Amino acid sequence: MEFSRIFMISCYVLLLCSSLTYGQAASPPAPAAISPTPTPAPAPAPEYVNLGYLLSVAGPFHTFLDYLESTKVLDTFQNQANNTEQGVTIFVPKDNAFKALKKPSLSNLSKDQVKSIILFHALPKYYALADFNDLSAKGPVSTLAGSQYTLNFTDDSGTVHLDSGWSKTKVTSAVLSTAPVAIYQVDEVLLPEAIFGTDIPPTPAPAPASHIIPAADTPSAESKESGSSPKSSPSNSSSHRIMNFGIWSQKVLAVLGGMALFF
Ligand SMILES: *[C@@H]1O[C@H](CO)[C@@H](O)[C@H](O)[C@H]1NC(C)=O
Ligand SMILES: *[C@@H]1O[C@H](CO)[C@@H](O)[C@H](O)[C@H]1NC(C)=O
Ligand SMILES: *[C@@H]1O[C@H](CO)[C@@H](O)[C@H](O)[C@H]1NC(C)=O
Ligand SMILES: CC(=O)N[C@H]1CO[C@H](CO)[C@@H](O)[C@@H]1O
């Protein structure tokens, strides 16, 4: 008699404990799935973004910056950036994108053509990444190089693809995206149809998928590795297993407790 009472009490205690742990195990899995993209800390609204400085410390974007300086397009961009009404959106290829240029190279172009190509890398307006969804429906978008220098955009579930005719590339990270200045890193140098003609080369072999390198060492970096956000969500299985074990142990103990009543 004494033994069965102790057994019942201990069963009851175990039951309590197991429902407590079950309650704890059941609650945590929720937050992981809610927002895979971290919300950027609200940076203080910059009065003045020094593009030359920013591009010299991010990237590496030295080749692009050299072209910006030698063509004086840096002044055009900076002027546009200072103009807070419209702002500017700049697509910046990394140094290795310039190294990868072989077939149509920039070395064989006139100064004006090079200038146009560099101007071709910017839109005369600030666009946040979310704006490209609307922009992609609009068809060809004029760049700072003029109305015959257009880019087509497509927003593929958050990844912004650019098509210049010759170059098909995508935004791989946001170096800066705070109105009025957006600077996005792209995989390739944008080569305009207006200079290279409509003799579009066949699409080159796709680059290895693992080649996305976020722009590091950026002071106001709001680094966004596009297209790979869901991958990093933690494994779901362990929390499910804990939950399942919680339910299972609770049931067993409940049965034991019920049996104990008959002693
Ligand atoms: C942009 O604004 C800054 C700060 O007001 C100024 O020093 C700079 O000369 C301006 N640059 C251009 C190209 O307007
Ligand atoms: C520039 O390109 C044209 C045609 O593509 C070619 O005929 C010419 O030889 C090139 N010049 C140099 C300096 O490479
Ligand atoms: C952009 O898209 C339009 C059709 O909407 C097409 O006619 C044009 O050739 C495209 N331009 C480029 C550079 O891909
Ligand atoms: C709902 C869900 O995301 N289930 C996944 C849990 O993780 C396993 C692999 O560990 C996937 O196969 C499931 O699809």
Whether 92 and 198 map to the same domain: the answer is: yes
126 found inside a domain: yes
DSSP string, 14-80: HHHHHHHHHHHHHSTTHHHHH-SSPPPP-PPPPS---HHHHHHHSTT-HHHHHHHHHTTHHHHHHHH
Whether 21 and 143 map to the same domain: the answer is: no
pLDDT tens readout for residues 109-135? 999 999 999 999 999 999 999 999 988
118 found inside a domain: yes
The CATH number linked to 211 is 2.30.180.10
Pocket lined around ligand 3, Cβ cut-off 6 Å:
139-140, 150, 152, 163-165, 193
The helix (H) or strand (E) run that includes residue 166 is: none
93 found inside a domain: yes
**What is the atom index within ligand 4 of the atom nearest the CA of 236?**
6
44 found inside a domain: no
List the Cα angle 246/247/251 in 5-degree steps.
115
Can you say how many angstroms the Cα of residue 131 is from the centroid of all Cα atoms in its chain? 14
User: Residues 81, 51: contact at Cβ < 8 Å?
Assistant: yes
Residue 164: CB within 6 Å of ligand 1?
Answer: no
Phi first, then psi: give them for residue 239, nearest 5 degrees: -70, -35
Residue 78: CB within 6 Å of ligand 1?
Answer: yes
In the block, residue with structure tokens 């807070």: 84
CA dist 234 → 31, 33, 158, 230, 246 (Å): 11, 9, 21, 9, 20
**What is the atom index within ligand 1 of the atom nearest the CA of 82?**
1
234: its two tokens: 């933690």
**Position 57 confidence tier, pLDDT thresholds 50, 70, 90:** very high
39 found inside a domain: no
Average pLDDT (47-70) is 92
Number of domains forming the structure of the chain: 2
- Interval between CA 139 and ligand 3 midpoint (Å): 7
Whether 105 and 198 map to the same domain: the answer is: yes
- Interval between CA 178 and ligand 3 midpoint (Å): 29
Query: Taking each helix axis from N to C terminus, what angle separates 237-260 and 2-26, rounded to the nearest 10 degrees?
Result: 160
Whether 112 and 15 map to the same domain: the answer is: no
CB-count burial class (<10 Å; 0-12, 13-18, 19+) for 256: middle
Closest-CA residue, ligand 4 atom 5, reads 236
Whether 223 and 241 map to the same domain: the answer is: no
Average pLDDT (33-58) is 71
Would you say the pTM of this structure is higher than 0.85? no
Provide the domain limits for residue 249.
Answer: 2-29+236-260
- Interval between CA 20 and ligand 4 midpoint (Å): 26
Whether 181 and 241 map to the same domain: the answer is: no
Residue 82: CB within 6 Å of ligand 1?
Answer: yes
